[in-house]
Chains A and B, each alone.
Chain A
Amino acid sequence: MSSVLVNAPRSARRGDVIEIKTLILHPMESGFRAGANGTLIPRDIIERFTCAYNGVEVFRLALSPAIAANPFIAFSTVATETGTLVLRWTGDNGFAVEETLSIAVE
């Protein structure tokens, strides 16, 4: 099942600043909360988000447990050339999700 929602323009003019808005399903369990039996629930967070534009990283975010569950991340990049944007979320317990967007630049 899909667990990622990305909103970004599919086409842009060269030099346009485009906004990319992302949502991903993830509990972002902080590791500071106790469960019903009083013991701490182990930390389970997304630690890193990156965006690579035609293979070149243009944005990176390091997330701490203070980022809310189902993280929303909105950032921008300059439309430089036609190609792909690869968004990648990685974190605890081997969490790794990748989403590829294509963009046409005139």
Chain B
Amino acid sequence: MNRRQRSAASRTAVAALAAAVAVTVTVALAQTPPGTTGDARRSGYHDMGPALRAMQDDDSANPAMLWVRDGEALWNRRLGAAAKACADCHGSAASMAGVAARYPAFDAQLGRPVSLEERINLCRTDRQKAEALAGGSRELLALSAYVALQSRGRPIAPPDDERLRSYVAAGEALFKRRLGQLNLSCAQCHDDNGGRRLGGALIPQAHPTAYPIYRLEWQGLGSLKRRLRGCLVGVRAEPFADDAPEYVSLELFLMRRARGMTLEAPGVRP
């Protein structure tokens, strides 16, 4: 396919997807939560077939554990000008239990919220006197997967921190704002149509219960930020810059939206 055909095909695809979404949205009926009583929120885990749930459940079969193992090695490796390992300050990684369940958190020094990945990098630059790891790098994913694993089975418990309030509100506004050429908000897919199908694919409710996730589509481990970027491309919006504050705001809002749901990191998703 040459470039012109490609761009024509791409326009067709946008039109087709827009049409598909339009159909989905128009025939959308009132959502019936599973079980009907109580909490209608649902982790993407429960939307997967038994084969993929088994892949996540068995640590010797879950490919994300390849990264976790690397993360464990990194946790104990002395590096940087300070020649310190994570373990030198924090001791056993068990001390990280619950941390992934409450992040992003407000950093007083920076005067803004930081994600778990950014916190890991702040430790690297401030304490270890080492270079920050690139976003999406294997090492950063490995460390965040290892830290997140320590909170597996715990409920998501975002702090009631006054200083976070405006960021959470910004995240919620962003979640509800229409974006991109398809002019769709996160809420239109994941609140209004979560659990319904778009083409052959199920629209999840978008709860960040399992990050970082091993996504079969990626054939690798990826962060929530990568997932958000994928959604932005999906609605044909220009993704925010890598260091844009929008990502952490969205994450703050999503964690509150998922408050009390069980962390299952590192998860497997289609």
Contact = CB atoms under 8 A, between A and B. Distances in A.
Interface residues of A, number: 17
Contacts of B79: none
Contact of A69 (B60, B61, B142, B220): B220
Contacts of B59: 7
A23 B70 contact: no
Given A7-B60, A21-B60, A70 B66 contact: yes
Contact of A2 (B60, B61, B70, B219): B70
B63 interface: yes
A4 B69 CA distance: 9
A72 B219 CA distance: 13
Interface residues of B, number: 14
A1 interface: yes
Contacts of B81: none
A55 interface: no
Contacts of A69: 219-220
Interface of A: 1-5, 7, 21, 23-25, 27, 38, 68-70, 72, 74
30 contacts: A1-B70, A1-B73, A1-B138, A1-B142, A2-B69, A2-B70, A2-B73, A3-B70, A4-B66, A5-B65, A5-B66, A7-B59, A7-B60, A21-B60, A21-B61, A23-B61, A23-B65, A23-B66, A24-B66, A25-B66, A27-B219, A38-B1, A68-B219, A69-B219, A70-B63, A70-B219, A70-B220, A72-B61, A72-B63, A74-B61
